[in-house]
A and B are shown apart, each in its own frame.
Chain A
Protein backbone atom coordinates (compact mmCIF):
# COMPACT_ATOMS: atom_id res chain seq x y z
CA UNK A 1 0.00 0.00 0.00
CA UNK A 2 1.23 3.47 -0.79
CA UNK A 3 1.88 5.71 2.19
CA UNK A 4 -0.36 8.73 2.56
CA UNK A 5 0.62 11.98 0.90
CA UNK A 6 1.09 13.59 4.32
CA UNK A 7 3.37 10.79 5.44
CA UNK A 8 5.56 11.32 2.38
CA UNK A 9 5.54 15.07 2.88
CA UNK A 10 6.52 14.68 6.53
CA UNK A 11 9.34 12.24 5.78
CA UNK A 12 10.51 14.40 2.92
CA UNK A 13 10.45 17.51 5.09
CA UNK A 14 12.46 15.80 7.84
CA UNK A 15 14.93 14.55 5.25
CA UNK A 16 15.15 18.01 3.77
CA UNK A 17 15.92 19.45 7.22
CA UNK A 18 18.76 16.96 7.58
CA UNK A 19 20.12 17.98 4.18
CA UNK A 20 19.80 21.62 5.17
CA UNK A 21 22.00 21.15 8.27
CA UNK A 22 24.50 19.24 6.13
CA UNK A 23 24.66 21.83 3.36
CA UNK A 24 24.25 25.27 4.91
CA UNK A 25 27.95 25.54 5.84
CA UNK A 26 29.03 24.90 2.28
CA UNK A 27 26.54 27.41 0.94
CA UNK A 28 27.84 30.22 3.14
CA UNK A 29 31.52 29.48 2.57
CA UNK A 30 30.98 29.18 -1.18
CA UNK A 31 29.17 32.48 -1.22
CA UNK A 32 31.91 34.06 0.85
CA UNK A 33 35.06 32.85 -0.87
CA UNK A 34 33.86 31.10 -4.04
CA UNK A 35 35.85 28.18 -2.77
CA UNK A 36 34.53 24.90 -4.21
CA UNK A 37 34.87 22.59 -1.22
CA UNK A 38 34.05 19.05 -2.28
CA UNK A 39 35.41 17.72 1.02
CA UNK A 40 32.50 19.24 2.93
CA UNK A 41 30.84 15.89 3.57
CA UNK A 42 34.12 14.47 4.86
CA UNK A 43 33.59 16.74 7.89
CA UNK A 44 30.05 15.42 8.20
CA UNK A 45 31.40 11.89 8.11
CA UNK A 46 33.89 12.76 10.85
CA UNK A 47 31.05 13.90 13.08
CA UNK A 48 29.11 10.73 12.31
CA UNK A 49 31.96 8.37 13.13
CA UNK A 50 32.77 10.26 16.32
CA UNK A 51 29.20 9.86 17.51
CA UNK A 52 29.11 6.17 16.62
CA UNK A 53 32.37 5.51 18.45
CA UNK A 54 31.37 7.46 21.56
CA UNK A 55 27.95 5.83 21.78
CA UNK A 56 28.95 2.26 20.98
CA UNK A 57 32.42 1.94 22.53
CA UNK A 58 32.37 4.48 25.35
CA UNK A 59 28.63 4.32 26.14
CA UNK A 60 28.13 8.04 26.04
CA UNK A 61 24.56 9.25 25.86
CA UNK A 62 23.58 10.13 22.28
CA UNK A 63 22.68 13.74 23.10
CA UNK A 64 26.07 14.44 24.67
CA UNK A 65 27.90 13.36 21.54
CA UNK A 66 26.16 15.90 19.29
CA UNK A 67 28.07 18.98 20.53
CA UNK A 68 31.29 16.99 20.33
CA UNK A 69 30.56 16.06 16.70
CA UNK A 70 30.16 19.77 16.00
CA UNK A 71 33.41 20.72 17.76
CA UNK A 72 35.47 17.91 16.25
CA UNK A 73 34.43 18.78 12.69
CA UNK A 74 35.06 22.49 13.32
CA UNK A 75 38.55 21.84 14.73
CA UNK A 76 39.45 19.51 11.85
CA UNK A 77 38.27 22.10 9.34
CA UNK A 78 40.41 24.82 10.95
CA UNK A 79 43.47 22.59 10.66
CA UNK A 80 42.80 21.81 6.99
CA UNK A 81 42.02 25.43 6.23
CA UNK A 82 45.36 26.53 7.67
CA UNK A 83 47.41 23.89 5.87
CA UNK A 84 45.71 23.59 2.45
CA UNK A 85 42.70 25.72 1.67
CA UNK A 86 44.23 29.07 2.53
CA UNK A 87 46.78 28.78 -0.29
CA UNK A 88 44.18 28.12 -2.97
CA UNK A 89 41.68 30.93 -2.46
CA UNK A 90 42.87 32.62 -5.63
CA UNK A 91 43.52 29.44 -7.57
CA UNK A 92 41.30 28.18 -10.38
CA UNK A 93 38.10 26.19 -9.82
CA UNK A 94 39.85 23.13 -11.14
CA UNK A 95 42.65 23.26 -8.55
CA UNK A 96 40.14 23.67 -5.74
CA UNK A 97 38.03 20.80 -7.04
CA UNK A 98 41.06 18.55 -7.30
CA UNK A 99 42.45 19.37 -3.87
CA UNK A 100 39.16 18.84 -2.11
CA UNK A 101 38.32 15.66 -4.06
CA UNK A 102 41.74 14.44 -2.96
CA UNK A 103 40.89 15.19 0.68
CA UNK A 104 37.53 13.43 0.27
CA UNK A 105 39.25 10.35 -1.20
CA UNK A 106 41.67 10.26 1.74
CA UNK A 107 38.80 10.60 4.22
CA UNK A 108 36.99 7.66 2.61
CA UNK A 109 40.11 5.51 2.79
CA UNK A 110 40.82 6.41 6.42
CA UNK A 111 37.23 5.69 7.43
CA UNK A 112 37.37 2.33 5.64
CA UNK A 113 40.67 1.53 7.36
CA UNK A 114 39.50 2.43 10.85
CA UNK A 115 35.89 1.25 10.78
CA UNK A 116 35.58 -1.16 7.85
CA UNK A 117 33.19 -0.73 4.96
CA UNK A 118 30.06 -2.00 6.75
CA UNK A 119 27.17 0.24 7.82
CA UNK A 120 27.60 1.49 11.39
CA UNK A 121 24.79 0.59 13.79
CA UNK A 122 23.60 3.18 16.29
CA UNK A 123 21.31 2.92 19.29
CA UNK A 124 19.27 6.08 19.73
CA UNK A 125 17.95 6.87 23.23
CA UNK A 126 14.47 5.48 24.07
CA UNK A 127 13.07 9.00 24.01
CA UNK A 128 13.62 9.20 20.25
CA UNK A 129 12.33 5.76 19.29
CA UNK A 130 8.90 4.97 17.97
CA UNK A 131 6.31 7.38 16.70
CA UNK A 132 3.68 9.79 17.93
CA UNK A 133 0.09 9.51 16.78
CA UNK A 134 -1.01 12.96 15.70
CA UNK A 135 -4.58 13.21 14.35
CA UNK A 136 -4.21 9.84 12.72
CA UNK A 137 -0.79 10.63 11.30
CA UNK A 138 2.16 8.53 12.34
CA UNK A 139 5.03 10.93 13.05
CA UNK A 140 8.42 9.40 13.85
CA UNK A 141 9.88 10.84 17.05
CA UNK A 142 13.38 10.94 15.65
CA UNK A 143 12.19 12.86 12.60
CA UNK A 144 10.40 15.36 14.82
CA UNK A 145 13.60 15.78 16.83
CA UNK A 146 15.51 16.32 13.59
CA UNK A 147 13.08 18.96 12.40
CA UNK A 148 13.32 20.66 15.81
CA UNK A 149 17.12 20.79 15.71
CA UNK A 150 17.15 22.08 12.13
CA UNK A 151 14.65 24.82 12.97
CA UNK A 152 16.72 25.86 16.00
CA UNK A 153 19.84 25.95 13.81
CA UNK A 154 18.03 28.01 11.19
CA UNK A 155 16.72 30.50 13.74
CA UNK A 156 20.16 30.85 15.34
CA UNK A 157 21.76 31.33 11.94
CA UNK A 158 19.27 33.93 10.79
CA UNK A 159 19.51 35.82 14.09
CA UNK A 160 23.30 35.54 14.07
CA UNK A 161 23.62 36.78 10.51
CA UNK A 162 21.00 39.52 10.79
CA UNK A 163 21.65 40.93 14.26
CA UNK A 164 25.26 40.40 15.30
CA UNK A 165 28.35 42.35 14.40
CA UNK A 166 30.00 39.22 13.05
CA UNK A 167 26.92 38.46 10.96
CA UNK A 168 27.07 41.93 9.44
CA UNK A 169 30.72 41.34 8.54
CA UNK A 170 29.83 38.05 6.90
CA UNK A 171 27.05 39.68 4.89
CA UNK A 172 29.34 42.49 3.84
CA UNK A 173 32.02 40.05 2.74
CA UNK A 174 29.55 37.96 0.74
CA UNK A 175 28.21 41.04 -1.02
CA UNK A 176 31.50 42.62 -1.93
CA UNK A 177 34.70 41.14 -0.67
CA UNK A 178 36.97 43.98 -1.75
CA UNK A 179 34.79 46.70 -0.34
CA UNK A 180 34.48 44.83 2.95
CA UNK A 181 38.26 44.53 3.11
CA UNK A 182 38.56 48.23 2.36
CA UNK A 183 36.30 49.04 5.30
CA UNK A 184 38.66 47.24 7.64
CA UNK A 185 36.90 43.90 7.88
CA UNK A 186 39.40 41.08 8.12
CA UNK A 187 37.85 38.96 5.38
CA UNK A 188 40.24 36.03 5.79
CA UNK A 189 39.51 35.73 9.49
CA UNK A 190 35.79 36.09 8.86
CA UNK A 191 36.06 33.35 6.31
CA UNK A 192 38.07 31.04 8.59
CA UNK A 193 35.50 31.37 11.38
CA UNK A 194 32.55 30.88 9.03
CA UNK A 195 34.28 27.90 7.50
CA UNK A 196 34.79 26.32 10.93
CA UNK A 197 31.17 26.98 11.94
CA UNK A 198 29.88 25.60 8.64
CA UNK A 199 32.00 22.47 8.90
CA UNK A 200 30.88 22.07 12.50
CA UNK A 201 27.26 22.14 11.35
CA UNK A 202 28.16 19.52 8.77
CA UNK A 203 29.63 17.40 11.59
CA UNK A 204 26.40 17.79 13.54
CA UNK A 205 24.43 16.86 10.43
CA UNK A 206 26.60 13.77 9.98
CA UNK A 207 25.87 12.67 13.54
CA UNK A 208 22.14 13.23 13.05
CA UNK A 209 22.13 11.46 9.69
CA UNK A 210 23.20 8.03 10.97
CA UNK A 211 19.74 7.08 12.19
CA UNK A 212 18.08 8.15 8.93
CA UNK A 213 20.46 7.21 6.14
CA UNK A 214 23.15 5.10 7.82
CA UNK A 215 26.89 5.67 7.84
CA UNK A 216 29.58 4.01 5.75
CA UNK A 217 32.81 5.30 4.20
CA UNK A 218 31.04 6.33 0.99
CA UNK A 219 29.05 8.94 2.92
CA UNK A 220 31.57 11.59 1.79
CA UNK A 221 30.58 11.12 -1.83
CA UNK A 222 26.94 10.05 -1.74
CA UNK A 223 25.82 13.08 0.25
CA UNK A 224 28.25 15.40 -1.43
CA UNK A 225 26.04 15.18 -4.52
CA UNK A 226 22.93 16.08 -2.52
CA UNK A 227 24.69 18.92 -0.74
CA UNK A 228 26.05 20.38 -3.97
CA UNK A 229 22.64 20.13 -5.58
CA UNK A 230 21.07 22.05 -2.69
CA UNK A 231 23.77 24.68 -2.68
CA UNK A 232 23.67 25.32 -6.38
CA UNK A 233 19.89 25.21 -6.61
CA UNK A 234 19.41 27.41 -3.54
CA UNK A 235 21.96 29.98 -4.60
CA UNK A 236 25.32 30.66 -2.99
CA UNK A 237 25.39 32.25 0.43
CA UNK A 238 21.63 32.33 0.82
CA UNK A 239 20.16 30.74 3.95
CA UNK A 240 16.58 31.06 2.74
CA UNK A 241 17.57 29.62 -0.62
CA UNK A 242 19.30 26.61 0.92
CA UNK A 243 16.32 26.06 3.21
CA UNK A 244 13.86 26.08 0.32
CA UNK A 245 16.11 23.96 -1.90
CA UNK A 246 16.68 21.42 0.90
CA UNK A 247 12.93 20.96 1.37
CA UNK A 248 12.38 20.75 -2.39
CA UNK A 249 15.11 18.14 -2.87
CA UNK A 250 14.19 16.23 0.31
CA UNK A 251 10.52 15.94 -0.63
CA UNK A 252 11.16 15.12 -4.29
CA UNK A 253 13.73 12.48 -3.34
CA UNK A 254 11.46 10.75 -0.81
CA UNK A 255 8.41 11.08 -3.09
CA UNK A 256 10.43 9.68 -6.00
CA UNK A 257 11.57 6.72 -3.90
CA UNK A 258 8.00 5.96 -2.74
CA UNK A 259 6.07 6.47 -5.95
CA UNK A 260 8.60 5.79 -8.72
CA UNK A 261 11.19 3.48 -7.18
CA UNK A 262 12.32 2.28 -10.63
CA UNK A 263 13.54 5.78 -11.50
CA UNK A 264 16.12 5.82 -8.70
CA UNK A 265 17.73 9.19 -8.16
CA UNK A 266 16.76 10.29 -11.67
CA UNK A 267 14.17 12.75 -10.39
CA UNK A 268 16.41 14.93 -8.23
CA UNK A 269 19.13 15.12 -10.89
CA UNK A 270 16.50 16.20 -13.38
CA UNK A 271 15.13 18.81 -10.96
CA UNK A 272 18.64 20.14 -10.45
CA UNK A 273 19.56 20.34 -14.14
CA UNK A 274 16.29 22.04 -15.03
CA UNK A 275 16.51 24.59 -12.21
CA UNK A 276 20.11 25.41 -13.05
CA UNK A 277 19.26 25.89 -16.71
CA UNK A 278 16.34 28.09 -15.83
CA UNK A 279 18.18 30.11 -13.19
CA UNK A 280 21.95 29.54 -13.35
CA UNK A 281 22.59 31.33 -10.05
CA UNK A 282 20.03 29.20 -8.20
CA UNK A 283 16.53 29.96 -6.98
CA UNK A 284 17.60 32.68 -4.58
CA UNK A 285 20.98 33.54 -6.08
CA UNK A 286 21.75 37.09 -6.98
CA UNK A 287 24.79 36.68 -9.20
Chain B
Protein backbone atom coordinates (compact mmCIF):
# COMPACT_ATOMS: atom_id res chain seq x y z
CA UNK B 1 0.00 0.00 0.00
CA UNK B 2 2.73 2.38 1.05
CA UNK B 3 4.76 1.40 -2.00
CA UNK B 4 1.83 2.17 -4.28
CA UNK B 5 1.53 5.60 -2.66
CA UNK B 6 5.13 6.49 -3.32
CA UNK B 7 4.85 5.40 -6.93
CA UNK B 8 1.74 7.42 -7.59
CA UNK B 9 2.94 10.51 -5.66
CA UNK B 10 4.69 12.11 -8.68
CA UNK B 11 1.65 11.47 -10.81
CA UNK B 12 -0.56 13.11 -8.19
CA UNK B 13 1.80 16.05 -8.10
CA UNK B 14 1.64 16.51 -11.86
CA UNK B 15 -2.12 16.11 -11.82
CA UNK B 16 -2.47 18.71 -9.10
CA UNK B 17 -0.43 21.12 -11.23
CA UNK B 18 -2.81 20.60 -14.11
CA UNK B 19 -6.04 21.26 -12.19
CA UNK B 20 -8.10 24.22 -13.38
CA UNK B 21 -8.69 26.92 -10.79
CA UNK B 22 -11.65 29.29 -10.64
CA UNK B 23 -9.40 32.26 -11.43
CA UNK B 24 -8.25 30.62 -14.66
CA UNK B 25 -11.81 29.91 -15.81
CA UNK B 26 -12.76 33.50 -14.94
CA UNK B 27 -9.78 34.78 -16.95
CA UNK B 28 -10.80 32.91 -20.10
CA UNK B 29 -14.44 33.94 -19.70
CA UNK B 30 -13.24 37.53 -19.39
CA UNK B 31 -11.49 37.28 -22.76
CA UNK B 32 -14.99 37.12 -24.29
CA UNK B 33 -15.95 40.48 -22.73
CA UNK B 34 -14.56 42.68 -25.55
CA UNK B 35 -17.32 41.33 -27.86
CA UNK B 36 -19.97 42.91 -25.62
CA UNK B 37 -18.26 45.75 -23.78
CA UNK B 38 -15.73 47.18 -26.26
CA UNK B 39 -16.94 46.31 -29.76
CA UNK B 40 -14.95 49.26 -31.12
CA UNK B 41 -11.69 47.84 -29.83
CA UNK B 42 -11.90 44.37 -31.31
CA UNK B 43 -8.97 44.86 -33.67
CA UNK B 44 -6.85 45.92 -30.68
CA UNK B 45 -8.11 42.86 -28.81
CA UNK B 46 -7.07 40.71 -31.75
CA UNK B 47 -3.58 42.24 -31.74
CA UNK B 48 -3.36 41.56 -28.01
CA UNK B 49 -4.36 37.91 -28.46
CA UNK B 50 -1.71 37.49 -31.18
CA UNK B 51 1.02 39.14 -29.14
CA UNK B 52 -0.02 37.11 -26.10
CA UNK B 53 0.50 33.95 -28.16
CA UNK B 54 3.95 35.23 -29.11
CA UNK B 55 4.74 35.96 -25.45
CA UNK B 56 3.52 32.47 -24.54
CA UNK B 57 5.99 30.95 -26.99
CA UNK B 58 8.86 33.00 -25.55
CA UNK B 59 7.76 31.95 -22.07
CA UNK B 60 8.33 28.28 -22.94
CA UNK B 61 12.02 28.79 -23.72
CA UNK B 62 12.82 31.77 -21.50
CA UNK B 63 10.51 31.32 -18.54
CA UNK B 64 10.61 27.53 -18.35
CA UNK B 65 13.91 26.42 -19.90
CA UNK B 66 15.85 29.60 -18.99
CA UNK B 67 17.13 30.16 -22.53
CA UNK B 68 17.36 33.95 -22.89
CA UNK B 69 16.55 34.96 -26.47
CA UNK B 70 16.88 38.44 -27.93
CA UNK B 71 15.97 37.29 -31.42
CA UNK B 72 12.65 35.51 -31.04
CA UNK B 73 10.98 37.85 -33.54
CA UNK B 74 12.84 35.95 -36.28
CA UNK B 75 10.30 33.12 -36.01
CA UNK B 76 7.39 35.52 -35.71
CA UNK B 77 8.60 37.20 -38.91
CA UNK B 78 9.13 33.90 -40.72
CA UNK B 79 5.57 32.94 -39.85
CA UNK B 80 4.25 36.35 -40.90
CA UNK B 81 6.03 36.35 -44.26
CA UNK B 82 5.34 32.72 -45.11
CA UNK B 83 1.61 33.16 -44.41
CA UNK B 84 1.63 36.28 -46.60
CA UNK B 85 3.54 34.66 -49.44
CA UNK B 86 1.39 31.55 -49.25
CA UNK B 87 -1.78 33.62 -49.67
CA UNK B 88 -0.20 35.52 -52.52
CA UNK B 89 1.15 32.61 -54.57
CA UNK B 90 -0.91 29.56 -53.57
CA UNK B 91 -4.28 30.37 -52.10
CA UNK B 92 -5.76 32.50 -49.31
CA UNK B 93 -7.36 29.82 -47.18
CA UNK B 94 -6.37 30.84 -43.61
CA UNK B 95 -5.99 27.47 -41.84
CA UNK B 96 -3.68 25.96 -44.41
CA UNK B 97 -1.68 29.23 -44.34
CA UNK B 98 -1.34 28.84 -40.60
CA UNK B 99 -0.05 25.29 -41.00
CA UNK B 100 2.48 26.28 -43.65
CA UNK B 101 3.75 29.13 -41.46
CA UNK B 102 4.02 26.80 -38.48
CA UNK B 103 5.93 24.26 -40.55
CA UNK B 104 8.45 26.77 -41.95
CA UNK B 105 9.02 28.47 -38.58
CA UNK B 106 9.41 25.03 -37.03
CA UNK B 107 12.05 24.03 -39.59
CA UNK B 108 13.96 27.26 -38.94
CA UNK B 109 13.62 26.75 -35.21
CA UNK B 110 14.77 23.13 -35.40
CA UNK B 111 17.78 24.09 -37.52
CA UNK B 112 18.89 26.88 -35.18
CA UNK B 113 18.13 24.86 -32.04
CA UNK B 114 21.29 22.85 -32.67
CA UNK B 115 23.25 26.08 -32.21
CA UNK B 116 21.16 27.35 -29.30
CA UNK B 117 21.39 24.23 -27.14
CA UNK B 118 25.19 24.30 -27.02
CA UNK B 119 25.66 27.75 -25.51
CA UNK B 120 24.76 29.67 -22.41
CA UNK B 121 25.06 33.14 -20.87
CA UNK B 122 26.50 36.00 -22.91
CA UNK B 123 27.38 33.83 -25.91
CA UNK B 124 23.79 32.63 -26.09
CA UNK B 125 22.39 36.15 -25.80
CA UNK B 126 24.72 37.35 -28.55
CA UNK B 127 23.94 34.39 -30.81
CA UNK B 128 20.18 34.85 -30.53
CA UNK B 129 20.63 38.57 -31.13
CA UNK B 130 22.89 37.90 -34.11
CA UNK B 131 20.58 35.31 -35.66
CA UNK B 132 17.60 37.64 -35.17
CA UNK B 133 19.45 40.53 -36.83
CA UNK B 134 20.53 38.24 -39.67
CA UNK B 135 16.91 37.25 -40.27
CA UNK B 136 15.97 40.94 -40.35
CA UNK B 137 18.72 41.73 -42.86
CA UNK B 138 17.66 38.82 -45.07
CA UNK B 139 14.04 40.02 -45.08
CA UNK B 140 15.22 43.58 -45.74
CA UNK B 141 17.53 42.77 -48.63
CA UNK B 142 15.31 40.14 -50.32
CA UNK B 143 13.26 42.97 -51.79
CA UNK B 144 12.01 40.89 -54.73
CA UNK B 145 10.35 38.43 -52.32
CA UNK B 146 9.33 40.37 -49.22
CA UNK B 147 8.95 43.89 -50.59
CA UNK B 148 11.70 45.07 -48.21
CA UNK B 149 10.83 48.20 -46.29
CA UNK B 150 7.65 48.74 -48.36
CA UNK B 151 6.08 45.63 -46.85
CA UNK B 152 4.64 42.64 -48.66
CA UNK B 153 2.01 43.63 -51.22
CA UNK B 154 -0.90 41.63 -52.58
CA UNK B 155 -1.96 39.54 -49.58
CA UNK B 156 -5.54 38.29 -49.99
CA UNK B 157 -7.03 36.14 -47.24
CA UNK B 158 -10.21 34.20 -47.97
CA UNK B 159 -13.09 34.29 -45.49
CA UNK B 160 -12.81 31.91 -42.56
CA UNK B 161 -14.62 28.61 -43.38
CA UNK B 162 -15.60 30.44 -46.57
CA UNK B 163 -18.16 32.44 -44.58
CA UNK B 164 -16.66 34.93 -42.11
CA UNK B 165 -14.79 37.77 -43.77
CA UNK B 166 -11.89 39.57 -42.11
CA UNK B 167 -13.46 43.04 -41.89
CA UNK B 168 -12.51 46.37 -40.38
CA UNK B 169 -14.45 45.79 -37.17
CA UNK B 170 -12.36 42.82 -36.18
CA UNK B 171 -15.13 40.40 -35.14
CA UNK B 172 -13.68 37.61 -37.22
CA UNK B 173 -10.10 38.62 -36.43
CA UNK B 174 -10.59 38.52 -32.69
CA UNK B 175 -12.65 35.31 -32.72
CA UNK B 176 -10.04 33.63 -34.88
CA UNK B 177 -7.01 34.85 -32.90
CA UNK B 178 -8.64 34.10 -29.56
CA UNK B 179 -9.63 30.59 -30.61
CA UNK B 180 -6.10 29.82 -31.84
CA UNK B 181 -4.60 31.34 -28.69
CA UNK B 182 -6.87 29.27 -26.47
CA UNK B 183 -6.18 26.01 -28.28
CA UNK B 184 -2.42 26.53 -28.19
CA UNK B 185 -2.63 27.63 -24.58
CA UNK B 186 -4.32 24.32 -23.74
CA UNK B 187 -1.50 22.44 -25.46
CA UNK B 188 1.14 24.54 -23.73
CA UNK B 189 -0.54 24.07 -20.37
CA UNK B 190 -0.49 20.32 -20.89
CA UNK B 191 3.15 20.52 -21.95
CA UNK B 192 4.53 22.49 -19.00
CA UNK B 193 2.63 20.35 -16.50
CA UNK B 194 4.12 17.17 -17.93
CA UNK B 195 7.39 15.47 -16.97
CA UNK B 196 8.92 17.27 -19.96
CA UNK B 197 7.87 20.62 -18.45
CA UNK B 198 9.48 19.60 -15.17
CA UNK B 199 12.68 18.72 -17.01
CA UNK B 200 12.71 22.18 -18.60
CA UNK B 201 12.38 23.81 -15.19
CA UNK B 202 15.22 21.63 -14.00
CA UNK B 203 17.40 22.93 -16.83
CA UNK B 204 16.54 26.49 -15.85
CA UNK B 205 17.39 25.91 -12.21
CA UNK B 206 20.58 23.94 -12.65
CA UNK B 207 22.04 23.28 -16.07
CA UNK B 208 24.93 21.19 -14.77
CA UNK B 209 22.97 18.87 -12.53
CA UNK B 210 20.34 17.85 -15.08
CA UNK B 211 22.69 15.81 -17.30
CA UNK B 212 24.22 14.40 -14.11
CA UNK B 213 20.88 12.82 -13.16
CA UNK B 214 20.51 11.41 -16.65
CA UNK B 215 18.35 14.03 -18.34
CA UNK B 216 19.08 14.73 -21.99
CA UNK B 217 19.23 18.49 -21.50
CA UNK B 218 20.30 19.42 -25.01
CA UNK B 219 17.58 17.32 -26.60
CA UNK B 220 15.04 18.92 -24.24
CA UNK B 221 16.22 22.42 -25.12
CA UNK B 222 16.09 21.58 -28.83
CA UNK B 223 12.54 20.27 -28.50
CA UNK B 224 11.36 23.26 -26.47
CA UNK B 225 13.04 25.72 -28.83
CA UNK B 226 11.41 24.11 -31.88
CA UNK B 227 7.98 24.16 -30.26
CA UNK B 228 8.47 27.81 -29.28
CA UNK B 229 9.47 28.63 -32.86
CA UNK B 230 6.36 26.90 -34.23
CA UNK B 231 4.08 28.82 -31.87
CA UNK B 232 5.84 32.12 -32.67
CA UNK B 233 5.41 31.35 -36.38
CA UNK B 234 1.70 30.75 -35.88
CA UNK B 235 1.42 34.07 -34.03
CA UNK B 236 3.17 35.84 -36.92
CA UNK B 237 0.88 34.15 -39.44
CA UNK B 238 -2.16 35.25 -37.43
CA UNK B 239 -0.95 38.85 -37.58
CA UNK B 240 -0.51 38.68 -41.35
CA UNK B 241 -3.89 37.06 -41.90
CA UNK B 242 -5.92 39.34 -39.63
CA UNK B 243 -4.32 42.56 -40.93
CA UNK B 244 -3.72 41.35 -44.53
CA UNK B 245 -0.23 42.85 -44.41
CA UNK B 246 3.30 41.78 -43.51
CA UNK B 247 5.98 44.35 -42.77
CA UNK B 248 9.62 44.38 -41.69
CA UNK B 249 8.47 45.45 -38.26
CA UNK B 250 7.27 41.88 -37.64
CA UNK B 251 10.87 40.57 -37.72
CA UNK B 252 12.66 43.51 -36.06
CA UNK B 253 14.71 43.63 -32.87
CA UNK B 254 12.08 46.00 -31.50
CA UNK B 255 9.51 43.19 -31.56
CA UNK B 256 11.90 40.80 -29.78
CA UNK B 257 12.59 43.42 -27.11
CA UNK B 258 8.93 44.36 -26.68
CA UNK B 259 7.77 40.79 -26.17
CA UNK B 260 10.55 40.26 -23.63
CA UNK B 261 9.36 43.33 -21.73
CA UNK B 262 5.76 42.09 -21.79
CA UNK B 263 6.70 38.63 -20.57
CA UNK B 264 8.89 39.91 -17.76
CA UNK B 265 6.33 42.50 -16.74
CA UNK B 266 3.70 39.80 -16.32
CA UNK B 267 6.07 37.24 -14.86
CA UNK B 268 8.25 34.78 -16.78
CA UNK B 269 7.94 31.10 -15.98
CA UNK B 270 4.18 31.31 -15.46
CA UNK B 271 1.71 30.53 -18.22
CA UNK B 272 -0.38 33.59 -17.48
CA UNK B 273 2.63 35.90 -17.09
CA UNK B 274 2.95 36.56 -20.80
CA UNK B 275 -0.81 36.97 -21.21
CA UNK B 276 -1.24 39.46 -18.36
CA UNK B 277 1.91 41.37 -19.32
CA UNK B 278 0.78 41.64 -22.94
CA UNK B 279 -2.67 42.90 -21.98
CA UNK B 280 -1.25 45.62 -19.72
CA UNK B 281 1.52 46.63 -22.13
CA UNK B 282 -0.66 46.79 -25.25
CA UNK B 283 -3.55 48.65 -23.60
CA UNK B 284 -1.13 51.15 -22.07
CA UNK B 285 0.55 51.65 -25.45
CA UNK B 286 -2.81 52.15 -27.12
CA UNK B 287 -3.86 54.72 -24.52
CA UNK B 288 -0.57 56.61 -24.74
CA UNK B 289 -0.29 56.37 -28.52
CA UNK B 290 -1.02 60.10 -28.73
CA UNK B 291 2.40 60.93 -27.28
CA UNK B 292 5.52 60.50 -29.38
CA UNK B 293 6.98 56.98 -29.38
CA UNK B 294 10.32 58.07 -27.94
CA UNK B 295 8.59 59.25 -24.74
CA UNK B 296 6.66 56.02 -24.56
CA UNK B 297 10.02 54.25 -24.27
CA UNK B 298 10.94 56.45 -21.33
CA UNK B 299 8.09 54.87 -19.38
CA UNK B 300 8.93 51.40 -20.64
CA UNK B 301 12.47 51.93 -19.39
CA UNK B 302 11.28 53.11 -15.99
CA UNK B 303 8.90 50.17 -15.84
CA UNK B 304 11.70 47.70 -16.61
CA UNK B 305 13.96 49.18 -13.94
CA UNK B 306 11.11 49.10 -11.44
CA UNK B 307 10.20 45.48 -12.24
CA UNK B 308 13.79 44.30 -11.88
CA UNK B 309 14.44 46.24 -8.68
CA UNK B 310 11.07 45.78 -6.95
CA UNK B 311 9.16 42.90 -8.53
CA UNK B 312 11.76 40.33 -9.63
CA UNK B 313 9.12 37.81 -10.71
CA UNK B 314 6.81 40.22 -12.47
CA UNK B 315 3.28 41.18 -11.54
CA UNK B 316 2.07 37.61 -11.11
CA UNK B 317 5.13 36.72 -9.02
CA UNK B 318 4.43 39.70 -6.75
CA UNK B 319 0.75 38.79 -6.46
CA UNK B 320 1.42 35.18 -5.58
CA UNK B 321 3.92 36.29 -2.94
CA UNK B 322 1.34 38.55 -1.33
CA UNK B 323 -1.25 35.74 -1.44
CA UNK B 324 1.20 33.30 0.15
CA UNK B 325 1.93 35.75 2.96
CA UNK B 326 -1.80 36.26 3.55
CA UNK B 327 -2.37 32.53 3.79
CA UNK B 328 0.40 32.09 6.35
CA UNK B 329 -1.10 34.66 8.73
The interface of chain A, by Cβ under 8 A from chain B, is: 30, 34, 36, 84, 87-88, 91, 93-95, 97-99, 101-110, 112-113, 117, 217, 225, 228-229, 232, 236, 262-266, 269-270, 272-273, 276-277, 280-281
The interface of chain B, by Cβ under 8 A from chain A, is: 62, 68, 70, 115, 118-119, 121-123, 125-127, 129-131, 133-134, 137-138, 140-141, 257, 260-261, 264, 268, 292, 294-295, 297-298, 300-305, 307-309, 312
Shortest Cβ gap from B207 to chain A (Å): 12
B308 touches A277 (CB 8 A): no
A106 touches B126 (CB 8 A): no
B-side interface mostly: helix
Provide the bound-state CA to CA distance between A272 and B123, in Å.
Answer: 11
Provide the bound-state CA to CA distance between A270 and B131, in Å.
Answer: 8
B138 touches A103 (CB 8 A): no
Partner of B137, one of A94, A98, A108, A264: A264
* A contact residues around B125 at 8 Å (CB): 36, 93, 97
Shortest Cβ gap from A260 to chain B (Å): 10
Provide the bound-state CA to CA distance between A98 and B264, in Å.
Answer: 9
Provide the bound-state CA to CA distance between A95 and B310, in Å.
Answer: 11
Partner of B122, one of A36, A88, A109, A110: A36
B121 touches A264 (CB 8 A): no
A280 touches B137 (CB 8 A): no
Provide the bound-state CA to CA distance between A34 and B129, in Å.
Answer: 18
Closest chain A residue, CB of each to CB of B304: A102
Provide the bound-state CA to CA distance between A117 and B297, in Å.
Answer: 14
A236 touches B141 (CB 8 A): no
A93 touches B122 (CB 8 A): yes
Provide the bound-state CA to CA distance between A98 and B268, in Å.
Answer: 12
Provide the bound-state CA to CA distance between A94 and B124, in Å.
Answer: 12
Provide the bound-state CA to CA distance between A108 and B268, in Å.
Answer: 26
* Contact A102 to B300, CB < 8 A, known contacts A225-B133, A264-B137, A266-B141: yes
Q: Which 10 A-B pairs have the closest CB atoms?
A: A102-B304, A105-B301, A109-B298, A106-B301, A112-B294, A102-B305, A266-B137, A232-B126, A102-B301, A99-B308
